[in-house]
Amino acid sequence: MTKHRIGLIGLGGMAYEHLRWMNAEGRFELVAISDVNAEALEKAGKQFGIPAEKRYSEFERLIADTDVDAIVAVTPNDSHAAIVRACLEAGKPFLAEKPFTRVFEEAEELLELYRGKPAKGMIGFSYRYTAAFRYARELIREGKLGPVRSFSIQYLQSWGGVQNDTPFLWRFDKRVTGTGTLGDLGSHMIDMARYLFGEFEELSAQLHTIVPERRDPASGRMAKVEVDDFASFQARMAGDVFGVFQTSRNAFGSGNQHEASVYGDFGTLHASTLNPDQLVWIRHDDTSGEIARTTLDVPHRCKTSQYADFAAMLDGEERDGLPGVVDGYRNQQVLDAIVRAHEAKRTIRI
Ligand SMILES: NC(=O)c1ccc[n+]([C@@H]2O[C@H](COP(=O)([O-])OP(=O)(O)OC[C@H]3O[C@@H](n4cnc5c(N)ncnc54)[C@H](O)[C@@H]3O)[C@@H](O)[C@H]2O)c1
How do the domains of the chain map onto residue ranges? 4-125, 127-303+323-349
Is the minimum distance from the CB of 176 to ligand 1 under 6 angstroms? no
pLDDT per residue over 40-54, tens digit each? 999 999 999 999 999
Mutate to test the pocket of ligand 1, among 35, 43, 179, 307 (most ligand atoms within 8 A of CB): 35
Cα 165 to Cα 13, 60, 64: the distances in Å are 19, 36, 41
CA of 80 to the centre of ligand 1 (A): 9
Q: Is the pLDDT of residue 330 over 90?
A: yes
Is the minimum distance from the CB of 191 to ligand 1 under 6 angstroms? no
Q: How far apart are the C-alpha atoms of 123 and 99, rounded to whole Å?
A: 8
Q: Return the pLDDT at 2.
A: 87
Is the minimum distance from the CB of 12 to ligand 1 under 6 angstroms? yes
pLDDT per residue over 76-129, tens digit each? 999 999 999 999 999 999 999 999 999 999 999 999 999 999 999 999 999 999
Please enumerate in sequence order all residues whose Cβ is within 8 A of that of 131, keeping only pairs 6 or more positions apart, or say none: 276, 277, 298, 302, 303
Q: Return the pLDDT at 242.
A: 98
Same fold for the pair 4-125 and 127-303+323-349? no
CA of 14 to the centre of ligand 1 (A): 6
Kind of pairing, strands 278-284 and 267-272?
antiparallel
CA of 207 to the centre of ligand 1 (A): 24
| Contact between 9 and 62 (Cβ < 8 Å) | yes
The pTM score is 0.98
Stretch 160-183: mean pLDDT: 96
**What's the chain's average pLDDT?**
97
Is residue 181 classed exposed, middle or buried when 0-12, 13-18 and 19+ CB atoms within 10 A define those classes?
buried
Which residue's CA is the nearest one to ligand 1's atom 18?
Answer: 12
Domain 4-125 adopts which CATH fold? Rossmann fold (3.40.50)
pLDDT per residue over 216-260, tens digit each? 999 999 999 999 999 999 999 999 999 999 999 999 999 999 999
Q: Where residue 286 falls among pLDDT bands split at 50, 70, 90?
A: confident
| Contact between 77 and 178 (Cβ < 8 Å) | yes
CATH number of the structural domain 127-303+323-349: 3.30.360.10
Q: What are phi and psi of 101, to 5 degrees?
A: -140, 180
**E-assigned strand segments in 308-350:** 348-349
Residue 206: name the closest of 241, 245, 172, 152 by CA.
245
Kind of pairing, strands 4-9 and 278-284?
unpaired
Q: Return the pLDDT at 79.
A: 98
pLDDT per residue over 287-322, tens digit each? 999 999 999 999 999 999 999 999 999 999 999 999
Mutate to test the pocket of ligand 1, among 97, 102, 128, 306 (most ligand atoms within 8 A of CB): 97
Q: Where residue 331 falls among pLDDT bands split at 50, 70, 90?
A: very high
Which residue's CA is the nearest one to ligand 1's atom 31?
Answer: 79
Mutate to test the pocket of ligand 1, among 33, 75, 189, 305 (most ligand atoms within 8 A of CB): 75
Kind of pairing, strands 55-56 and 121-123?
unpaired
CA of 73 to the centre of ligand 1 (A): 8
What's CA 138's distance to the chain center, in Å?
Answer: 20
Stretch 197-201: mean pLDDT: 98
Q: Where residue 327 falls among pLDDT bands split at 50, 70, 90?
A: very high
Kind of pairing, strands 148-156 and 257-264?
antiparallel
Q: How far apart are the C-alpha atoms of 186 and 89, rounded to whole Å?
A: 29
Q: Is the pLDDT of residue 1 over 80?
A: no
Is the minimum distance from the CB of 74 to ligand 1 under 6 angstroms? yes
Which residue's CA is the nearest one to ligand 1's atom 21?
Answer: 12
**Ligand 1 atom with minimal separation from the 58 CA:** 32
